[in-house]
Amino acid sequence: MGRADEFAGITDGLSVDVEDYFQVEAFAHRVPRSQWPAFPSRVRQNTERVLRLLERNRCRATFFVLGWVAEREPSLLRDIVQSGHEIACHSHLHRRVHTLSPLEFREDVMRARDAIEDAAGVAVAGFRAPTFSITRQSLWALEILAELGFTYDSSIFPVRHDLYGIPDAPRGIHQRQLATGQTIWEIPPSTVQLAGQNLPAVGGGYLRVLPMSFTRWAIRSIHRRERRPVMIYFHPWELDPGQPRLQAGWKSHIRHYTGLRKMEGRLDEILAQGRFQPLLELLQQVEQPAMQARAGK
């Protein structure tokens, strides 16, 4: 895969959802949050592995961090910031938004943001919901995020999925006008169009499970045909094939464990060929021309 052919001189977005292997949605029904402290944590060593991956490929990223992790590993967040990356919010307890009331969501986000900012020593501008769980039923969450001062959200996945997704949502970076009169930017994960359908690509389990031939084609399609950046996301535990195996149903087992041994090599291939930056910087490149265009009207 050559830089000129696949990446077409476009700078892409890169993000990492910082959570431990036992905190994922696949095990939520088997691992109560009250039992999280009993599990051996691997989030520090796995996130440090991610930092080394990014350093050798000269990439910078946005790290969406759980507030629960920030409270227990504050020095890890400082390491992330000192390495030149953006820190953002991934909620406090990794609960899907549509399972919470607006008040519960607000309190969860405020606690997470405070913990992250206290640990990292920098302000937080971005939010990503656990399991991309801002759906049609929980769009109210965007109003709360805007009220709390977040600049952007990255939670709406424009696909059909059994756990998340708004299939007809815009596929590119866009600004959403809210009922309160406020606005918030949305940075969706990448999808590619095939036969009129949006297919997820270049992120998380899709990057681990789907053939690399599909991933390379998806990057080419998004870059060449659409002339837009790719949004790549993954989790530190996805680079950890030695993590403890937890009991789960067959679907959760496939989603969580398939391709763990291949993931770092696949990321190395992609990151070595392109240029990647944190989502806030990518947004600023989009936002500035938009503001100039409005000012010229």
The CATH superfamily label for domain 3-295 reads Glycoside hydrolase/deacetylase (3.20.20.370)
**Beta-carbon count within 10 A of 246 CB:** 17
Residue pair 153/126 in contact by the 8 Å Cβ criterion: yes
In the chain, where the domains are located: 3-295
pLDDT for the residue numbered 274: 92
| Helix (H) / strand (E) containing 152 | strand 152-153
Predicted TM-score of the model (pTM) = 0.93
d(CA 89, CA 108): 11
d(CA 265, CA 16): 16
* Rounded average pLDDT per 10-residue block, the chain, 297 residues: 58 97 91 96 98 98 98 98 98 96 98 98 98 95 98 94 84 94 96 89 92 95 93 97 89 87 97 96 79 47
Residue pair 110/148 in contact by the 8 Å Cβ criterion: yes
Q: What is the dihedral of CA 124, 153, 15, 246, to 10 degrees?
A: 100
d(CA 204, CA 255): 9
